[in-house]
């Protein structure tokens, strides 16, 4: 039996019927998500790993199946008003249920705000919740550990720092299946999970650039790899983390004299540069070709694609 199947909906304080209203059980709910909490946005149709560990959860992030957003400053939950219709005889009847909606606020800076903007969408994600220790999700009709079905994700306007308040960014998420949120939830208690969810990190953006424009007859390339938000050097990458293409074809290369010093990598080519050759450089993972997301020393990275044209 997989780990998640063993510990899902399990607390160390006695059992009871999950749908019963009796109180001979230990009540479960997420704590205040502000501070150590996080939300996860699964791509629609994806689900959490059954063998859930720090490594498998990080792998879902590195594959691009799961977007992890931590460092929540505040979270507010609201619900749309239920639409009640009244008959001519004065009898009320429920027309439309109000749907849950939540606004999640972060104080993680403007670069993080730009990343939030890319999440604005409709119907492409499913939501999981964490208070930093516990994990809440839903079980599908066939028992898959998935997220709550999401309708609109709206990126709200950036709020700049003013007076005694810090700058804030936020998104608003509407859940479009109230029954899932009310009845189909599942959870994992942190004491049963075996690792700390606050240790899980998201994808970090890095930038590739060519230090020099390659010239005809050169036998190598020099690239520079920096962390995108603050430009500190990324020095721990290995040869398999890089992908170089020449004129759209994967290039065979080896490490040169310099490896990662100040973020600069010298790469030796199998054949000399020719005038007009177009080179591209980016992160690479042989097991994850379509995403270009890599993991190095337990840190997840994804780069831009840098391009340069060789000169005579």
For the chain, the average pLDDT equals 88
204-309 has which CATH code? 2.60.40.1220
Asked if 224 and 266 count as a contact pair (C-beta separation under 8 A), the reply is no
Q: Residue 27: pLDDT band by 50, 70, 90 thresholds? A: low
pLDDT at residue 77, as a whole number: 87
Which of 36-50, 70-84, 169-183, 242-256 shows the lowest per-residue confidence on average (mean pLDDT)?
70-84
pLDDT tens-digit map of 101-154: 999 999 999 999 999 999 999 999 999 999 998 999 998 888 889 999 999 999
Residue of higher predicted confidence among 249 and 194: 249
| Closest of 223, 214, 221 to residue 303, by C-alpha | 223
Contacts of 271 (CB under 8 A, 6+ apart): none
Mean pLDDT over 181-196 rounds to 87
DSSP assignment letter at 120: -
- The arithmetic mean of pLDDT across residues 11-24, rounded, is 57
Q: Where are the domains of the chain?
A: 3-199, 204-309
Confidence (pLDDT) at 31: 83
Per the listing, tokens 């079980």 go with 139
Going by pLDDT thresholds of 50, 70 and 90, the confidence category of residue 13 is: low
Question: Out of 72-86, 181-195, 284-298, which region has the weakest mean confidence (pLDDT)?
Answer: 284-298
- Burial (CB < 10 A; 0-12, 13-18, 19+), residue 172, is middle
Distance separating alpha carbons of residues 125 and 151, to the nearest angstrom: 8
Enter the tokens of residue 137: 């999700």
Distance (Å) of CA 186 to CA 31, 66, 145:
15, 18, 8
Q: How confident is the model at residue 291 (pLDDT cuts 50, 70, 90)?
A: low
Which two tokens mark 128?
A: 């999981």
Q: Does 15 score more than 50 pLDDT?
A: no
């Amino acid at each position: 039996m997989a780990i998640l199947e063993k510990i899902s909906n399990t607390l160390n304080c006695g059992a009871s019927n999950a749908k019963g209203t009796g109180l001979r059980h230990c009540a479960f709910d997420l704590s205040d998500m502000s501070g150590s909490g996080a939300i996860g946005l699964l791509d629609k149709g994806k689900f959490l790993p059954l063998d859930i560990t720090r490594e498998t959860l990080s792998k879902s992030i590195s594959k691009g199946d799961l977007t992890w957003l931590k460092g929540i400053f505040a979270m507010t939950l609201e619900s749309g008003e239920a639409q009640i219709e009244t008959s001519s005889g004065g009898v009320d009847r429920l027309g439309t249920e109000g749907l849950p909606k939540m606004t999640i606020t972060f104080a993680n800076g403007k670069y993080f705000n730009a990343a939030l903007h890319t999440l604005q969408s409709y119907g492409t994600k499913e939501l999981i919740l964490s208070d930093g220790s516990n994990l809440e999700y839903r079980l599908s009709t066939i028992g898959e550990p998935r997220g709550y079905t999401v309708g609109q994700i709206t990126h709200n306007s950036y709020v700049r720092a003013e007076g005694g308040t810090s700058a804030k960014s936020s998104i608003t998420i509407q859940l479009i299946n109230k029954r899932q949120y009310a009845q189909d939830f599942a959870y994992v208690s942190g004491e049963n999970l075996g690792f700390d969810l606050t240790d899980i990190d998201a994808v970090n953006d890095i930038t590739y650039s060519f230090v020099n424009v390659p010239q005809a007859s050169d036998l190598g390339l020099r690239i520079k790899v920096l962390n995108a938000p603050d430009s500190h050097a990324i020095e721990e990458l290995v040869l398999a983390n890089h992908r170089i293409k020449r004129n759209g074809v994967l290039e065979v290369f080896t490490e040169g004299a310099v490896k990662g010093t100040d973020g600069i990598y010298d790469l030796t080519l199998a054949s000399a540069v020719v005038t007009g050759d177009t080179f591209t450089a980016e992160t690479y993972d042989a097991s994850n070709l379509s995403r270009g997301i890599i993991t190095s020393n337990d840190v997840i990275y994804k780069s831009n694609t840098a391009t340069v044209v060789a000169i005579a």
